[in-house]
A and B are shown apart, each in its own frame.
Chain A
Amino acid sequence: DQQVKQNSPSLSVQEGRISILNCDYTNSMFDYFLWYKKYPAEGPTFLISISSIKDKNEDGRFTVFLNKSAKHLSLHIVPSQPGDSAVYFCAATGTYKYIFGTGTRLKVLA
């Protein structure tokens, strides 16, 4: 039973445009959500997080939005750059450990 879902396995975006990566979850007890970025042959690296008491968190080109009623979060990257091409994982945590989604492969086209 997948508690954290990323339904889009891949996404292609033109350089300079907005990239929107989506994540859905089922457990209303999750209280923090995180996004990680992963390049090939490397481990995931932390990107941005959001608490369940907030609906938006921004860090430079990266913004995460949380819609608790819909149990949905999204990561916006504006403007997208070729170096953003990677696999993005969302993760959720509550009383249990971190639960990761299956990842979305983002390709930013120059």
Chain B
Amino acid sequence: DAGITQSPRYKITETGRQVTLMCHQTWSHSYMFWYRQDLGHGLRLIYYSAAADITDKGEVPDGYVVSRSKTENFPLTLESATRSQTSVYFCASSTRGTGYYEQYFGPGTRLTVT
């Protein structure tokens, strides 16, 4: 399927567990992003990547790890999940990192940490 996909769509995990959220895009966009959406905060950038093997922190990177070995994949790992990481996570891709270049968002992953 063309576009940007995320898996799983829903995930429940326990505090302290490691969990990985997957993101895959078929456009060969250079830039990929991870956001979390929380009430009262809108979308906040966790990490972004300008190309394979190039990643950088966003506004709220603590507790998260990313990697990008292939252009099309950008997994997000919560090394030891905490309840404060309960959120909806969106992956996005774009041809550029700033400017009028729109971002294409995946459908989101709803993560609940118990």
Query: Contact between B100 and A49 (Cβ–Cβ < 8 Å)?
Result: yes
Q: Which among A11-19, A40-48, A71-79 touches the partner chain?
A: A40-48
Mask for A82-110, Cβ within 8 A of B = 1, else 0?
00000001010111111111110000000
| Residue of A6, A44, A91, A96 with most chain B CB atoms under a 10 A cut-off | A44
Sample (17) of A-B pairs whose CB atoms are under 8 Å apart: A32-B100, A41-B107, A43-B108, A44-B105, A46-B102, A91-B43, A93-B98, A94-B98, A95-B98, A96-B98, A97-B58, A98-B33, A98-B98, A100-B35, A100-B44, A101-B42, A102-B42
A38 to B92, CA, bound (A): 14
- Is A63 in contact with chain B by the CB < 8 A criterion? no
A31–B96 Cα distance when bound, in Å, is: 14
**Across the interface, do A51 and B100 meet the contact criterion of CB distance under 8 Å?**
yes
Tell me, in angstroms, the Cα distance from A96 to B102 when the chains sit together.
Answer: 15
Expressed in whole angstroms, the minimum distance between the Cβ of A54 and any Cβ of chain B is: 11
* Smallest beta-carbon distance B2→chain A, Å: 15
Q: Which residue of A lies closest to B91 (CB)?
A: A43
Query: Interface size for chain A: under 10, 10 to 19, 20 to 34, or 35 or more residues?
Result: 20 to 34
Asked whether B74 is an interface residue with its Cβ less than 8 Å from the other chain, the reply is no
Say whether B100 contacts A43, CB under 8 Å: no
Cβ proximity bits A2-44 to B, threshold 8 Å, 1 near / 0 not: 0010100000000000000000000000011010100001111
Taking CB atoms, residues of chain B closer than 8 Å to A42 are: 107-108
- Assuming the A-B contacts A41-B107, A43-B106, are A98 and B45 also in contact, with contact meaning beta carbons closer than 8 angstroms in the complex? yes
For residue B55, give the distance in angstroms from its CB to the closest CB of chain A. 13
B43 near A100 with CB under 8 A, answer yes
Q: Are B33 and A97 within 8 A (Cβ)?
A: yes
Q: Which residue from chain B places its CB closest to the CB of A49 in the assembled complex?
A: B100
CB atoms of A32 and B99 under 8 A apart: yes
